Amino acid sequence: MFTAIELFDSASNNVSACTDTLQISLSSIKFEWQGFHIEKGWCRSFHPENVYCKNFIFVMAVENEFRWSTRYDDEIHSMATSPGEVWMNPPGIPFTHTLAEPCSYIVLTVTSDTLSKNAELSASFADLQFLKSYNISDKNIENMIYLFYNETLNNNANGQPYIDGLAKAFSVYFVQNYSNYRDIVNNTVSQKKIGQKELKIVNDFITNNIYSIVSIEELSSLCRISKYQFLKEFRKTMGITPYQYILKMKIEKSRELLMDDEVKIVDIACKMGFSDQSHFNRTFKRFFGYPPGTYKNKQTK
């Protein structure tokens, strides 16, 4: 089955053929959900270059981790995405990706009109700004995408009222957390940057809570700016998202723990909040080039 999602070449505005490599195993197209569409797909490779979607697009990795690269801010950035992490892209914003290995994913698209209607805004939707975000680790977004997927898998068993409620919940949450909506309605639009003072606050908080789940809401509150501004300015300053930064600090801490020959790798994985040892092994190898077992053997000899 071919994808129903169209991507457009930024130069010509013609439909791009880059989606020809996408193999779809499940689609909600037959249900005609107003403004929402979901697919589960797989591909061996994917090479969109300077293309855009007319709708909001949310792509969540499933089943396996994969490596790829993206171009933004005129630079090529290498990425590694784990199951549950989400790439979000607003309508009309061009992107260029290079994926040269097998990848399984679930993709959700939402029209601007549907998002605006369901979010029940007290500000003009036209005034909102949305970020292009990579490797977002947000359990609420992840779970709601899975709810759309499961409803598709179950042949829309719960009917339109269920989809309407899910659409409203998704719209409200996304607008509230991934746009400048709160800054506008609270009249708190700020030009505050993430400087050395804010980075120290962030580092100290993550360090003191390294064995706990650290949320972006907590970090943005500590820096006294909105979540939207924090996500935007943090990437400008550090070159990576705060989600990636938290993961980096956790992996660095896990390397310290591996130096203790009495501590088991599975216990470190659990302590650092990884879903299982396999996930920890893959993530550690991504950062350091070798699995934790190899590192531990070298350090404890």
Q: Does residue 277 belong to any structural domain of this protein?
A: yes
Task: Give the pLDDT of residue 24.
Answer: 96
**Same domain for 201 and 165?**
no
**Same domain for 62 and 146?**
yes
Task: Give the pLDDT of residue 154.
Answer: 96
Count Cβ atoms within 10 A of the Cβ of residue 195 and give its class: 0-12 exposed, 13-18 middle, 19 or more buried: exposed
**Same domain for 84 and 137?**
yes
Count Cβ atoms within 10 A of the Cβ of residue 128 and give its class: 0-12 exposed, 13-18 middle, 19 or more buried: buried
Token pair listed for 97: 């990706």
CB neighbours (10 Å) of residue 133?
19
Task: Give the pLDDT of residue 64.
Answer: 85
The Cα–Cα gap between 284 and 266 comes to 13
Question: Does residue 298 contact residue 261 with C-beta atoms inside 8 Å?
Answer: no
Phi, psi values for residue 68, rounded to 5°: -160, 180
Q: Does residue 257 belong to any structural domain of this protein?
A: yes
Q: Does residue 1 belong to any structural domain of this protein?
A: no
Count Cβ atoms within 10 A of the Cβ of residue 200 and give its class: 0-12 exposed, 13-18 middle, 19 or more buried: exposed
**Whole-prediction pTM value?**
0.83
**Same domain for 229 and 266?**
no
Q: Does residue 246 belong to any structural domain of this protein?
A: no
CB neighbours (10 Å) of residue 129?
13
**Same domain for 214 and 126?**
no
**Same domain for 75 and 201?**
no
Q: Does residue 229 belong to any structural domain of this protein?
A: yes
Q: Is the dihedral of CA 134, 138, 140, 142 positive or negative?
A: positive
**Same domain for 113 and 38?**
yes
Q: Which domain holds residue 79?
A: 8-185
Task: Give the pLDDT of residue 287.
Answer: 86
The Cα–Cα gap between 269 and 257 comes to 10
Q: Does residue 3 belong to any structural domain of this protein?
A: no
Question: Half-sphere exposure of 154 toward its Cβ, with a 13 Å CA cutoff?
Answer: 12
pLDDT tens for the 301 residues of the chain, in order: 889 999 999 999 999 999 999 999 999 999 989 899 999 999 999 999 999 999 999 999 998 888 899 987 777 888 888 899 999 999 999 999 999 999 999 999 999 999 999 998 888 888 899 988 888 889 999 999 999 999 999 999 999 999 999 999 999 999 999 998 888 887 765 566 788 999 999 999 999 999 998 988 899 999 888 888 888 888 888 888 888 899 999 999 999 999 888 889 999 999 988 878 888 888 888 888 888 988 888 766 5
Number of domains, the chain: 3
**Same domain for 148 and 19?**
yes
Token pair listed for 104: 């399984």
Q: Does residue 2 belong to any structural domain of this protein?
A: no
Q: Does residue 190 belong to any structural domain of this protein?
A: no
Token pair listed for 5: 């999602």
Q: What is the CATH number of the domain that holds 109?
A: 2.60.120.10
